[in-house]
Structure 1
Amino acid sequence: MPPAKKVHSNSSYLPAPLWKLKPHRSQKIWGTERWLFSIHPNGASTVDGGLFNGKTLAAAIEEFNAAQPHSPAIPLPPILVKIIQTHEALSVQVHPNNAYARRHENSYGKSECWFFIDHEPQATVISGFRTALRRQKKNENMHPSPFKDTRNTFPHTQSPQIPQNPKNTEDTENTENNDANNDIRQLFLSGDKKAIEKELRYLKVETGASLYIPAGTIHAIGKGITLLEVQQSSDITYRLYDYGRDRETHLEKSLAVLDRNATGIHYPPASYKKIATPYFTIEPQTLKKGEQQPFTFSPPLANQTTILVVLTGALKISTPSSPIDEKNSSENTSAKTRHFTTISTEHPSSEHSNTIIAEHEDCLYAPNGGHFLLESPNETTSYVKIEAFLSPSASSETSY
């Protein structure tokens, strides 16, 4: 690795840079994926501009840490943020939890959340089984999901709460699932399209709604949908059914990790301000033309990191010209009481640089955290604030 560029600072951390990231793009048989924020080797996002221009996100963080050897190292955020657009349905699939993924795949597990941006009329997703298959086998080794949502209608009028301690399912590998799920094995071995689809739970998509899919939940994204997906940093997918397409399926692995009772957790549009999961939070926001709003990227010592994704419109982003008293500051503090100067990705500490303009699908990340001011210059702007939790134990046990 080449030596890190020297950046001088009088504080314990370098001046707060703001990185705009370039996504990794891939074409799939069913549509397209853009990995906006990714440290994963299968599709790393890169820094767009500035001192670390062209570096993968993981490499940029590594060099950034090397440039401040006397400060605590900034960990690699174990999160992956995507934009998914479909013109065909994805396979019916399931993802492993942390325990199974660590043991069998040297990876994190994969729990994920979808925020629906746009869709064709009558677009649907699959989340869980219908009632007939959503029953628990009597087996003392089975672990019922704490994320269970047994209601069949969509949308719901209330949003269920995620339990505070889901460790029993995420960190426990269930070795008895394959035998207990023999009826599901026979269903998918039959290849009977009508029989399979009859047992799956189809949900109508609504723009602005969200759906949390814990590891172990059978699911699929239908055709004609654009969504933001926030997930653990994992690329492990086990397919049960692929609509006759000539791709590998993974029936036995799927049965090993499947929670037949899990149906996901749905959040109707305008019914929530923030979605909290064990791995990240998602907070949709809107700024009207000309509005300003303070915005804080969490500092490294907060054990979480902040990601900002612009969905529609554009954001003008500036930074305070003088330090802010963190005890007395909050995102609700009026921006009129502060003095701001512009910031650029090329010279983060300069007070004479150009303003950052973040547009449609731009992803922003401040490795040191920091306070900024957001403004919608031309039109109403929608964006999402994501807080990814940094777990030292998880980071040390997996490759990514």
Structure 2
Amino acid sequence: MPSLIPFRLKPAFVARIWGRTQLAPWYTEQPTEKIGEAWLTGEQCVVEGGPLAGKTLRDVATEFPDALLGESKALGEFPLLLKILFPDDKLSVQVHPNDEQAAKRKSQGKTECWYVLNAEPGAAVALGFKDPKVPVEAVREAIEKGHLEDLLHFEPVSVGDLVYVDANTVHAIWPGATLLEIQQTSDITYRLYDYGRPRELHLEEGLAVMNSQTSAGKRLPVKKDGFTRLVEERYFSVDRMELPAGSTLDVTLAGKPQCLVLLSGEASIATGNDDLALAKAEAVVVPAATERAVLRAGSDCVVVRSTV
């Protein structure tokens, strides 16, 4: 198996009509267009530094499928897509297909979760419907008459919340929060309702895959040995690690790739003789073939780990 050490990816910024031009405190860039998403593990994201510098994540997955992906090799791509979302306006009301439905488009489904990084008073997300037995035709009528929001169930969100959103859940995000999104690697979105904005809707596709009853909602954190598990579901687990300055934590996960995202402080990941610094709001990928990985805190720090 080829040798492969952890590497850091440069975020890829994606413009959205609902985005922001101010990305602080996460990034120093001053974009001239509204940025809605920073893709941290998109296939187009480029490796910063080290022997893989300049290669995209797709390149690495193609050249080192066993070493990088391990148990996820059958997917043929990195299994998790991480993003930071910057909504400054309402996101459309939308729904994503599950694996079986997405297979028709030669893709994975899209189950996701949101970890709340920042939240202003009144920040909220929409998850499903007030009435879990609402008929499809009532949803269609509400869309056509322009009042779908009246049917939706809203959840207020605060810093530190973890919201799980399984495929087939009708959902939306309101402005006022910054979110770290962890999802299956898929970008299939069916837009049901967009508040009159002149964008394409996917009404029939969306109504065909939506479920009025799902498992979406907030997850309670669970204390583990040295970290806090925020969510553990079929496609991913997400952990928050809070380390005091000078401490270490063994984060080895044999056979599974993982992503580390630094939220505050200073930290590095040590594997054998290699030591890679984490950068705020950037993903460090630890390959599945890594035999031992130790997180080191240069100062008090908070790191979020995501893995299949």
Report the TM range for the smaller structure's normalisation: 0.7 to 0.9
Q: Structure 1: which 5+ runs fail to align?
A: 1-12, 137-179, 321-340, 344-354, 389-400
Structure 2 residue aligned with 1:284: 240
Secondary structure of the residue aligned to 2:149 is helix
- CA gap 1:67/1:282 in 2 versus in 1, 3 angstroms: closer
Give me the whole-angstrom Cα distance separating, in 1, the residues matched to 2:65 and 2:163. Answer: 35
Question: In the alignment, is the contact (CA less than 8 A) between 2:3 and 2:67 conserved in 1?
Answer: no
Give me the whole-angstrom Cα distance separating, in 2, the residues matched to 1:124 and 1:93. Answer: 15
1:183 matches 2:148: no
Structure 2 residue aligned with 1:250: 202
Question: In the alignment, is the contact (CA less than 8 A) between 1:119 and 1:205 conserved in 2?
Answer: yes
- CA gap 1:259/1:65 in 2 versus in 1, 3 angstroms: closer
**Aligned residue identity for 1:257:** V
1:34-57 CA-to-partner distances (Å, cap 9, x unmatched) read 111123xxxx22211122211111
Match of 1:240 among 178, 192, 199: 192
TM-superposed CA distance for 1:65, in Å, is 5.1
Give me the whole-angstrom Cα distance separating, in 2, the residues matched to 1:319 and 1:60. Answer: 18
Secondary structure of the residue aligned to 2:90 is coil
**Aligned residue identity for 1:47:** V
Structure 2-normalised TM-score?
0.85
1:33 matches 2:40: no
Give me the whole-angstrom Cα distance separating, in 2, the residues matched to 1:207 and 1:67. Answer: 35
Secondary structure of the residue aligned to 1:101 is helix
Give me the whole-angstrom Cα distance separating, in 2, the residues matched to 1:263 and 1:245. Answer: 30
Question: In the alignment, is the contact (CA less than 8 A) between 2:222 and 2:230 conserved in 1?
Answer: no
Question: In the alignment, is the contact (CA less than 8 A) between 1:47 and 1:60 conserved in 2?
Answer: no
- Taking only aligned residues, the RMSD between alpha carbons, in angstroms, comes to 2.4
Question: In the alignment, is the contact (CA less than 8 A) between 2:271 and 2:290 conserved in 1?
Answer: no
Structure 1 residue aligned with 2:179: 227
Secondary structure of the residue aligned to 2:141 is helix
**Aligned residue identity for 2:99:** N
Question: In the alignment, is the contact (CA less than 8 A) between 2:267 and 2:296 conserved in 1?
Answer: yes
TM-superposed CA distance for 1:250, in Å, is 1.1
Match of 2:231 among 275, 296, 301: 275
1:307 matches 2:295: no
**Aligned residue identity for 1:366:** V
Identity %: 35
Give me the whole-angstrom Cα distance separating, in 1, the residues matched to 2:268 and 2:202. Answer: 46
Structure 1 residue aligned with 2:50: 50
TM-superposed CA distance for 1:370, in Å, is 2.9
Question: In the alignment, is the contact (CA less than 8 A) between 1:16 and 1:370 conserved in 2?
Answer: no
Give me the whole-angstrom Cα distance separating, in 2, the residues matched to 1:373 and 1:205. Answer: 32
Structure 2 residue aligned with 1:264: 216
Give me the whole-angstrom Cα distance separating, in 2, the residues matched to 1:100 and 1:270. Answer: 32
- CA gap 1:29/1:72 in 2 versus in 1, 3 angstroms: closer
Question: In the alignment, is the contact (CA less than 8 A) between 2:221 and 2:231 conserved in 1?
Answer: no
Structure 1 residue aligned with 2:78: 77
Give me the whole-angstrom Cα distance separating, in 2, the residues matched to 1:66 and 1:284. Answer: 27
**What does residue range 271-350 of structure 1 map to in structure 2 within 5 Å?**
273-296=229-252, 298-299=253-254, 302=255, 304-320=256-272, 341=273, 343=274
Structure 2 residue aligned with 1:17: 5
Give me the whole-angstrom Cα distance separating, in 1, the residues matched to 2:230 and 2:87. Answer: 26
1:59 matches 2:59: yes
- CA gap 1:360/1:72 in 2 versus in 1, 3 angstroms: closer
TM-superposed CA distance for 1:362, in Å, is 2.1
TM-superposed CA distance for 1:273, in Å, is 2.3
**What does residue range 344-363 of structure 1 map to in structure 2 within 5 Å?**
355-363=275-283
**What does residue range 197-236 of structure 1 map to in structure 2 within 5 Å?**
197-236=149-188
**Aligned residue identity for 1:35:** W
Bigger Cα Rg: 1
Residue range with higher mean Cα deviation, 253-262 or 15-24: 15-24
Higher-strand-fraction structure: 2
1:76-95 CA-to-partner distances (Å, cap 9, x unmatched) read 33221111111111001111
- CA gap 1:356/1:215 in 2 versus in 1, 3 angstroms: same
Give me the whole-angstrom Cα distance separating, in 2, the residues matched to 1:289 and 1:251. Answer: 51
**Aligned residue identity for 1:370:** E
Structure 2 residue aligned with 1:127: 127
**What does residue range 112-123 of structure 1 map to in structure 2 within 5 Å?**
112-123=112-123
1:139-182 CA-to-partner distances (Å, cap 9, x unmatched) read xxxxxxxxxxxxxxxxxxxxxxxxxxxxxxxxxxxxxxxxx612
**Aligned residue identity for 1:95:** H
Give me the whole-angstrom Cα distance separating, in 2, the residues matched to 1:260 and 1:73. Answer: 31
**Aligned residue identity for 1:287:** L
Question: In the alignment, is the contact (CA less than 8 A) between 1:208 and 1:270 conserved in 2?
Answer: no
Structure 1-normalised TM-score?
0.66
Give me the whole-angstrom Cα distance separating, in 2, the residues matched to 1:119 and 1:72. Answer: 36
**Aligned residue identity for 2:87:** T
